[in-house]
Amino acid sequence: MKIDGYTRVCGVMGNPVEHTMSPAIHNTLAQALGENLVYIPFHVPAGHAGDAVRGAYALNLLGMNVTVPYKRDVVPFLKEIDPLAETIGAVNTLVRTEGGFKGYNTDMPGLYRAMSEDGVGIEGEDVLILGAGGVARAVAILAVRKGARRILILNRTLEKAQRIAREVNGLAPAGVQPASALALEECASLPGDRYLAIQATNVGMFPKTEDAVIEETAFYRKVHTGYDLVFNPPRTRFMALVEENGGRAFGGLKMLLYQGIIAYELWTGAQVDAGLAEKAKEAMHIS
């Protein structure tokens, strides 16, 4: 890779950031597309999110990804925020514009693009979300926006699931209340019987790869498709349990890949096709 006076810089800010796979995605895309662009990680110390955003703009960076714990902290330092990112309340991509960065959330469009490629639709589905953290909340917003028939949020801490259900019902068309909450221990007595289940807890992540948030077979029998957002390991115990009970199962690696690809497309205007996406996925070295 040649670096010269015209090289554009993008990067990811986070803390920690050392484990990130994003440089593999973006530098592979830049090389394959012949863009004079490099992508590097930036470890930002606690309390310096605003300095990092202003500094990145002053240094003429083309764009930034934002990861844990700064996805909310960067918002006050943006020139503009995309409506979806504003609704979700979290920004993971900064795009350089005249006078400041515009903030986007590419996590949910990334999940949606991954699901579409896997032939998994949301419209008219009974969507069951496991977890009520930041990502589960964003998934619930995606589900209501894409026309899910029913959205059931199951969480260990019931109040958090109830809060998200109320918020999501507020975003639904008038007269429709698709979202409801249930405690995790009630998982064996779900009302419906054919769910698209999206696993958005931390359970099953490396190194605790033998864990699944739910073990009951009665639950898995009701799942026709399971989407685990955990990407390491690429095949989780949740996925194995879904498949053992006759469902289709997918992991979180493709979501991770596409949130990066959509950011790259926003920065450069490039269109990344499926072949190039596969090349970037291989560069992540977990398949």
Nearest-CB residue to ligand NAP? 133
Gap between the Cα atoms of 13 and 64, Å rounded:
7
Among 48, 160, 163, 279, binds ligand NAP (CB under 6 A): 160
* Nearest to 123, CA basis, from 153, 150, 85, 83: 150
Cα angle, residue 204 at apex, residues 252 and 25 outer, rounded to 5°: 30
Q: Give min distance, CB of 6 to ligand NAP, in A.
A: 31
- Please confirm, yes or no, whether 71 is among the known catalytic residues: yes
Considering only 174-182, 185-193, 226-234, 274-282, which stretch makes contact with ligand NAP by CB under 6 A? 226-234
Q: List the interface residues with ligand NAP, window 166-225 (CB under 6 A).
A: 200-203, 205, 213
Which pair of tokens denotes residue 191?
């009302």
| Cβ nearer to ligand NAP, comparing 56 with 262 | 262
Burial of 31: CB neighbours in 10 Å, binned 0-12, 13-18, 19+:
middle
| Cβ nearer to ligand NAP, comparing 50 with 234 | 234
Contact status, residue 140 vs residue 169, Cβ threshold 8 Å: no
Q: List the interface residues with ligand NAP, window 94-133 (CB under 6 A).
A: 107, 131-133
DSSP 8-state symbol, 244 = H
Q: Give min distance, CB of 3 to ligand NAP, in A.
A: 29
Q: Which run of H or of E encompasses 199?
A: strand 195-199
Site residues, ligand NAP (CB under 6 A): 107, 131-136, 155-157, 160, 200-203, 205, 213, 229-231, 252, 255-256, 259
